Amino acid sequence: MPHRDSTSRLARLWKPLTVGLLLIGALVVLSPLAIAFFASLAPAGTSTFSEIFPKSPTWDNYKEAWQRGNFLLAFANSTFVALSVTGFQIITSALAGYALARLQFRGRQAILLIVLATLVIPFQILVVPIFLVLKWGHLINTYGALILPTAASGFGIFLLRQYFLTVPVELEEAAALDGANRLQILWRVMLPLSRPALVTLFLFTFIGEWNDLFKPLIFTTRPELRTVQLALSEFQEQFTNNWSLLMAAVVIATVPVVLLFLLGQRQFLRGIATTGIKN
């Protein structure tokens, strides 16, 4: 009995301790964004973070940053590129992941190892051959240069392959008995059941493309193709000494991905928790 009482006491203490540690971690992670937000409300001309909470907060910095940075065009470009890359990755990852999870063919394990090997190759190492291919295809300074290099992802293929392995084979066999072919099984059975993994892939890909500066910087020079991160980089060069205006631009570029993650966090956590439990 004493041992059981001590165990229950520890269990009661463990929950608030866990919550407290998570709250501290959340505060540490969110503090930079909070500091940037409060600094963006400071009056124009503030050059240093003299006070965390400005005495005379103003929203004029956001209007000025939006206009000077031409963020409307940048948002449109980043949204189009991110959604296009995400769509391509979902299609290619679903097809390749399903083939590696269910189809039996020679060399399947070797292909899986090659897919996994691509995860450890930095994109920067491939930039020269990719640039040459894009130049050969007359795609430099086009949306194609921002979309096609990352239209397929080893991470996405592996993620969906692992999730497909958790789906019972009996569901596919029942669909096959009803006359469904492989593509119909994938579209009508596997993908609806894999929504958490698809949301996870969508969030990873969209946020990664939204925050990408490397591709727009290397593959484009036309002002009309500027993305959010490229516009933010140029904005920083122009307004280095105007911290309140610069922080307003940072918040403008950050808020969309934060909201997107908050909307899909439940499916994201479920997809992470249920992926990778089978070989």
Token code pair at residue 34:
């909070």
Local structure of 194: helix, strand or coil: coil
Q: Of 82, 64, 78, which Cα lies nearest the Cα of 235?
A: 64
* pLDDT for 258: 86
Q: What is the pLDDT at residue 130?
A: 94
pLDDT of residue 48 exceeding 80? no
Q: What percent of the chain has pLDDT over 90?
A: 45
Asked whether the predicted pLDDT for residue 162 surpasses 70, the reply is: yes
User: What pLDDT was estimated at residue 9?
Assistant: 63
Distance in angstroms (rounded) separating the CA atoms of residues 241 and 247: 11
pLDDT digits (tens, 9 = 90+) for 174-204: 999 988 899 999 999 999 999 889 998 999 9
Count CB-CB contacts under 10 A for residue 79: 16
Does the pLDDT of residue 129 top 80, yes or no?
yes
Residue 279 has pLDDT above 80, yes or no: no
pLDDT higher at 272 or 231:
231
Name, of 16-25, 82-91, 192-201, 233-242, the range with top average pLDDT: 82-91
Alpha-carbon gap, residue 270 to 2, rounded angstroms: 38
Structure confidence at residue 139 (pLDDT) = 94
Query: Can you list the alpha helix ranges (DSSP code H) found in 137-242?
Result: 143-147, 154-164, 169-177, 182-185, 191-193, 195-210, 214-219, 228-238
pTM score, two decimals? 0.85
pLDDT at 91: 96
Asked whether the beta carbons of 158 and 97 are under 8 A apart, the reply is yes
Could you give the CA distance from residue 231 to residue 213 in angstroms, rounded to a whole number? 9
pLDDT value, residue 132: 95
Element (H, E) at 123: none
What would the two tokens of residue 231 be? 């516009």
pLDDT band at 4 (very low <50, low <70, confident <90, very high): low
Task: Please state the rounded mean pLDDT for residues 86-93.
Answer: 96
Q: What is the pLDDT of residue 76?
A: 95
* Residue among 259, 256, 262, 274 nearest 196 (CA): 274
Q: Which of 265, 273, 133, 112 is closest to 203 using CA atoms?
A: 265
Instruction: Encode burial over 94-128: b for 16+ CB neighbours within 10 A, e otherwise.
Output: bbbbbbbbbeeeeeeeeebeebeeeeeeeeeeeee
How would you label 24-41 residue by residue, b for 16+ Cβ within 10 Å and e otherwise?
A: eeeeeeeeeeeebbbbbb
pLDDT tens string 204-258:
999 999 999 999 999 999 999 999 999 988 887 776 677 888 888 889 999 888 8
Highest mean pLDDT among 13-22, 117-126, 153-162, 229-238: 153-162
Q: Are 251 and 36 in contact (CB under 8 A)?
A: yes
pLDDT value for 264 = 73
Residue 87 CB-density burial (10 A; 0-12 exposed, 13-18 middle, 19+ buried): middle
What is the amino acid identity at position 74? A
To the nearest whole number, what is the mean pLDDT of the chain? 85
Residues 60-273, CATH architecture: Orthogonal Bundle (1.10)
Q: How confident is the model at residue 56 (pLDDT cuts 50, 70, 90)?
A: confident
pLDDT value at position 95?
Answer: 95
